[in-house]
Structure 1
Amino acid sequence: MSAVVKGHYGAWASLALLMAPCTQADEQLLGAGYLKSYGLWQDAVAPVSAEQWQWQNSLRLMLDYFPGARWSLQLHYELQPVYRDKPTPSVADGSPFSTLNNSDNRYRIDDIQNDDDREEDHWLLLHNLDRLNLRYSTEHGDLTVGRQVVSFGSARFINPTDIFVPFALQTLNQEYRVGIDAIRYQAALGDFAQLDVGAVIGENAEKANSGAFLRGRDNWRGKDVQGVLIALDEAWLVGGGVETALGDFGVWLETAFVDAEPAHYWRHSIGSDYALDARWVLMLEYHYNGAGAGQPEDYAGLLRLQPYQRAGVYLLGQHYLIPALNWQASPLLNVTASGFFNLQDDSCFISLAAERSWSENLYSDVGVYWSAGDSLEPDPASATLQFGSEFGTYPVSLYASLRWYF
């Protein structure tokens, strides 16, 4: 299978190479990466998907080049061969049936063009040029140009201020956030204070696909606080967050208001964590999603709206409770469990996973995604399928993985 690199993205590479200074005596080249393999089984969800098996693989190569004390060039490339016993385009389209960490070119000037996902193909090959950026560092701050991570937030599970391609719940490989194209300056204002300003340049460098952001953060009387302002073409966001400790409890609050004409909505996350002892940590978060709907029959219409297309919203309801538990069973074995409960339609999404370390570079995982709720239901009036609940459409999934780092 082939991949074609389009012209605009080649410009990023050319710019990075032209701006990089000449080789110096103190230059350094660092390489790393990983190989991951996931075996996945998904149950049928009538009437839209059959039971299926998948074999997902990922090779990530990472290079960091330091020509001198102030300059650095970063490159990450990921190749994902995927085998499915029942070919279906939904494996890579971000639907509830997809567990892949897909690149999304809405906030990329241009991108590698993957082959079409045809229904008759059992094999799918995905390419992702996930990082390509040049950084210039001084004692006052860092200027980064190119493909990089831009993420914000104080909450642990759902971040109202984090709108640039967040992970979906069912994504298996969540180790690296998807890179987007941006020009960014992070200024150090003190020991803990930082000003972060930048422009995100989206598909074809069009104004409709681009945006700008400004974030300030500091530590005030032992509390980590931050404020965020984001401007998109037809929307803007203002928000912030705080993280602190109340006795033995860690506490966080994050909130954002979005004006996306004609929609205006708030999103909030508030939560706490508590170490029961040296091995057990309990977390609980409440999330309010003002962009969502109160009734399942209104869910389908949300997916066409700006918050779900451009502003990083993916939950369909309004009120959620998210408990989580982490158990360090031994120095080599860690077990985590979490649940997303939609408090209005009585559906839930449960995740249980165990990680085993076999050596410094070799790990394995086993896990299950389990959901409960009403599935898709036929609507006689429109002759279409309607949501019976949010998480009732998610298939039960079992997986096992092996990860090797180099």
Structure 2
Amino acid sequence: MAEFDWHAERADLQGLAQLDRSPEGEGIDLKAVRQYRQAQLRREMENHGIDAVILSDPVNIRYATGTRNMQVFSMRNGPSRYLVLTADRSILFEFTGCLHLADGFETVDEVRPAKTASFVAAGPKIAEREVAWAREMAGLVEELAGKRATVGLERMNAGAAIALRDAGLHIVDAQAPVEMARAIKSAEEMKCVNASLRATERGVANLRAAIRPGLTEAELWSVLHQSVIAQNGDYVETRLLNAGARTNPWFQETSDKVIGENELIALDTDVVGCHGYYSDFSRTFHAGPGKPTPEQRELYRVAHEQVSHNLGILRPGLSFRDYAEGAWDIPEKYHANRYYLSAHGCGMTGEYPYLYHRGDFPDAGYDGEIRPGMTLCVESYIGEDGGKEGVKLEQQVLVTESGVELLSRFPFEEELLG
């Protein structure tokens, strides 16, 4: 694998030249991306016997239409914008005062004002608001898809979902068709994935260059945010940068802990970046000024071995069960602190499928098939239970007709690999 020249990439950002990442400059046909995604969703709706979906998850609305508006706000305050999609109609209900944001999208046939059905918006009249909202939706679905339409929901307030059922709709879960649609990427969609990754790698290069003992975890982590936002990315979905003893166990959120000399610094990017696509790779660094210890190098070597082995067995047509059987065997001393997954799907966020470790498969795993067009993230966390430090590594790949293509290009640490 060719080394990624992060020094050159960092130099490219002088003067914030990437403030507006033009899709034309990247050679991406975003109209083709939107049309492919909407067609994918409609195909899966038909496969699952669903006549209409009411989508309220802002990531799924963006997938189905390309429209976005206050993504994080919309996740929390809802349904405040939602989409009704049938086999031949797409009606977006947009947040108050925001109807103009969907202008020019060929994936939206009509925009109407949303009626937010939440306690924050309606107070003690929430039940009345939900019933009125449900009646409006039921009437629209009947108009578009008939009286006996099957309607899929993927995320909804309990009261709103119950009111929809009481309004006479046949309600089913829309998660399966949405996830199955999102799992297979088009060639044009992959241009968006790669644009997001290149921008995130620039941010990680800036973060790596800024490492020095005396900074807090949060100060260092903010370097990634600044670069992602300056390149027109969206947000970072988690808080996963830790140093020293806070690298073990994993999943300790970034804090004001001061980075000490010669500590390990572990990062999981989890960036919702350019065009709304997820850049998800992990790296572990050494704070210096001295050299890594033998113990630090061993943790890193083992994590690198796990990722390399599991990348090596991925191929199209492999079942999830057979992947679990062939995946790297975690040594007993690292088993208790293992990462909860061996690999997972990746698109506009983390998504289907989850690929579990062999030992976890009987309880947590499910079967399926690794298919061309899937983008997967292969994970490793290595740290002993009660150990001083740990190492997090992860690579993002595309499954092709003949194998896998490495998407995440940020280099591993030679001094830690030894």
TM-score normalised per structure 2: 0.24
Q: Going by fraction, where is strand more abundant, 1 or 2?
A: 1
Q: Which has the higher contact order (CA 8 A, sep 6+)?
A: 2
Structure exhibiting the larger radius of gyration computed from Cα positions = 2
Q: Going by fraction, where is helix more abundant, 1 or 2?
A: 2
